Every structure is written in C-alpha cells, then in structure tokens.
Structure 1
Amino acid sequence: MAPLATKADLAARLGRDLTCDEGARLEALLSDASTMVRSYTGQDFGTSTSTVTLRAQAGMIVLPQRPVIGITSVTAIGINGTPDIGVVDYWWDGLDKIRIGEGNFVINLPEIWWDEDEGYPGTFRVTYSHGYAEVPADVVMVVCGMALRTLTSPAIAGGITSETIGPYSYRIDTPGLGLSIVMTEAERKALSRYRRTVGMISVRVG
C-alpha cells in the first residue's frame, strides 16, 4: 500500500528541503509509519474494494473498513453442505452496518436455514467499496510527525547524549532513538476515532 503521507507533506512541516541523507531514508520511514498507523487503527484509508467473510450478530454485520462507500454483494455461506446463496433481503444503514432480513423477500432458500433458532445463516461474504478520496488531515499529521521525529533525531545509531549548562550537566542513554518509528500516546489519541471497536458475537452450540 502507498504511504499515508508524501515527501511534500513532510517537507512542508520540516520547513526546508530534505538533505540527501534524509531523502535516502524518507520512503522507508513513511512506509513504516503508515504501516504502524494502519495496524493500530485497523483501517486502510485508501479507496478500494474488499471481500470479507464475517459472522453476523443477531442478524447484524459490522463492516471493518470505513467509511463504506457502497455494498456490491452479500452472500450467505452455506451450512451443513448447503450451497452459498446471494442475499438480496438486507438493509445497509449508510455507515458500516448491514442488517440481514428474515426471509420476507427471498425465495428458494434451503429449508434447513429456517429450521434453526435464529432463522438465518450465521456467516456471510460481503463485497463492498470503502475508503477516503484523500487521506484525512489528522492521519497525515500523525504519519509525518512519526517520520520526522525519527528522521531528525541526532542519535541514529544510539549512544549517549550529554549537555552542560554552567555547573550542571546530564547524560541520557539513547539506544537507537532515531532508528525506529515510534507512536506516542498523543498520536494514539489523535487516531482513536478511526479504531475499529471489538464486539461480541453470538455462538450457537449443537
């Protein structure tokens, strides 16, 4: 996947052109920062189409990637040897949830589905489009901040930083401070609204 920020985004925040050494590291750092942001939020951010297999909870499916642009298809996964069947009796809330119907508008479904207590199969395959036309500004801000903090650190290989002011001095061990991408607590808070929430699922035994 493409990085969530560009060289121009980073240079604008740095306030100058990158040096040759900085430019040589830039692509990898932006890629690492973007990977960490995607891993933390569970979101791709770019516009694309995905096919996912999800378990419904009480007939409701929560799609993992947001924002959802449109639903292409919903397919019920066959149970006990029955075939997969396309579902047309569903309702999309316009955000990230799909409500599976109760068979009012669907014909020729396997009778075994309606013999179950919940009245519908539990697992569905959904194809849908999602993502942002442009990466959100706060996501670009976080990616640039993570990359810049590492790029401009004076202690790329680690070591000891020391400073003396009059009679006072201090020494700080810096084990590779400028070598690896790190996400701060403030950056986690900035990304919190994009994180996927974890919900409970219904499980039937028998």
Structure 2
Amino acid sequence: MSALASQADLEARLGRALTAAEEARIDALLDDASALVRAYTGQAFSLTEDEEITLPAISGKITLPQRPVIDITHVIAVGGSDALPDFAVVDWMFDGIETIRVGSGGFVINLPEAWWDDEDGYPGTYRVTYSHGYATVPGDVLSVVCGMALRTLTSPTTAGGVVSETIGSYSYRLDSASGGLGVVMSAEDRKVLDRYRRTATTTRVGR
C-alpha cells in the first residue's frame, strides 16, 4: 500500500528541496508515518476498488470497516459447506455510511432450512465486494503524515530521542519523543485523527 504523502508534499512544507541524505531516508519515513496513521485509525484512506472482504453479521447488520464507501457490488451469504452453498443476497439495503442491512431471506427461493436454525434468523457470515477510500488523501491526514515524517527528518541528530544544538561555546541537549531515527505519533496527531476512528461496535453475546 502506497504512502499517504509524497516527497513533493514534504518539500512544499519544508520550503526547499531535500538534500541527498534526506532523500535517502524519506521513503522509509513516509511509509512508517503512513503505517502508524492507518494502524491508529483503522482506515486505509487510499482509493480501493472492488475489494472482497468476509464479515460477520449481527442481527442482519454488516458493518463495513473502510470509509467512505463508494459502491457495493455484491453481498454473498457464505454457506461454508456443500449442504449450505453460498448464495447472492438480493434483499439488502445500505445506510449510506457503513452499514448493510440484510433482509430475512424471503426473496430467496428454496433457502436451506439450516439458515433458519440461527437464533436471529440470518446467515452468520457474508462476503461483500465494495469500493472505498479517497481519490485524494484528506488534508488533515496529509498534514499529520508530513508532520510526523518532518519531525524525524529535520531532527539535529539521528540518535533516537535526542536533540542537541551548539552555538559558539553554548550547547544544549534534551530528549525528544519526536526526533531521532523513529517516526512517532504525538498526542496532537491523535486528536486530529480521532474523527476517522470507529469508537464503538456492536456484538451479540450468547446466553
């Protein structure tokens, strides 16, 4: 999966071209920053077409993990055995955000009796094909990725977590959580990204 920002994005914010030493590091730093952003938010952000994913349904509701959802192509009920073959679901509705509401199966001729054995009356697993993501990475996400990479890239030293500077006979040295070798996500970065996270989910608990 490609990085969420480019060298050109960093140079635009830095106000100059990268040096040869900086160019040698920048791809890895952008990849690291992008990976941290994706891990924290649970979102890919990149435009993805016709991804196939298998998901559970809770009381007939399937929650798609990636947003924004652009298009849903197929919803397939997964049988999992010869006795319970897969079948295409036709009675489903999308809420326009992230949830598919599956019908009770009344439109399916000769629906296997075993489907009705589940306590909520729905198949438990579905295979969904859908397209999602952004044609252009959102500006706030781009800003966070660039900031994370630039803090590390422009640190005075590559000794992890240490920043130092000398001016004439005066020098100072301090620890920094955002400098050195590794890319670090700050508390402010998390605040910006929080709106992309899913903060609550619903599950079914058996008795």
Q: TM-score, normalised by structure 2?
A: 0.88
Aligned residues with identical type, % of pairs: 58
Segments of structure 2 that go 5 or more residues without pairing to the other structure are: none
Report the equivalent of 1:102.
104
State which of 181, 184, 188 in structure 2 corresponds to 1:186.
188
Q: 1:5·1:144 contact (CA, 8 Å) conserved in 2?
A: yes
Q: 1:155·1:174 contact (CA, 8 Å) conserved in 2?
A: no
Report the equivalent of 2:4.
4
Report the equivalent of 1:65.
66
Q: 2:194 is paired with a residue of what secondary structure?
A: helix
Q: Provide the aligned C-alpha RMSD in A.
A: 2.5
Q: 2:76·2:128 contact (CA, 8 Å) conserved in 1?
A: yes
- Relative to structure 1, the CA distance from residue 150 to residue 113 in structure 2 (aligned partners, 3 Å threshold; closer, same or farther) is same
Distance 2:62 2:112 in 1: 21
Tell me by how many angstroms 1:162 deviates.
6.4
Q: 1:4 is paired with a residue of what secondary structure?
A: coil
Select between 89-98 and 196-205 the one with higher mean Cα deviation. Answer: 196-205
Residues 25-70 of structure 1 deviation map (CA, whole Å, 9 limit, x = unaligned): 1111111111111111111111113211111111111100100011
Tell me by how many angstroms 1:173 deviates.
4.4
Q: What amino acid does structure 1 have at the position aligned with 2:91? A: D
Tell me by how many angstroms 1:79 deviates.
5.8
Distance 1:176 1:38 in 2: 18
Q: How many matched pairs?
A: 204
- Relative to structure 1, the CA distance from residue 163 to residue 127 in structure 2 (aligned partners, 3 Å threshold; closer, same or farther) is same
Distance 2:163 2:150 in 1: 21
Distance 1:174 1:68 in 2: 39
Residues 131-166 of structure 1 deviation map (CA, whole Å, 9 limit, x = unaligned): 1011101111000000000000002124573679xx
Select between 74-83 and 85-94 the one with higher mean Cα deviation. Answer: 74-83
Q: 2:126 is paired with a residue of what secondary structure?
A: strand
Mapping of residues 6-155 of structure 1, within 5 Å = 6-48=6-48, 49-78=50-79, 81-155=83-157
Is 2:146 the counterpart of 1:161? Answer: no
Q: What amino acid does structure 1 have at the position aligned with 2:64? A: L
Q: TM-score, normalised by structure 1?
A: 0.89
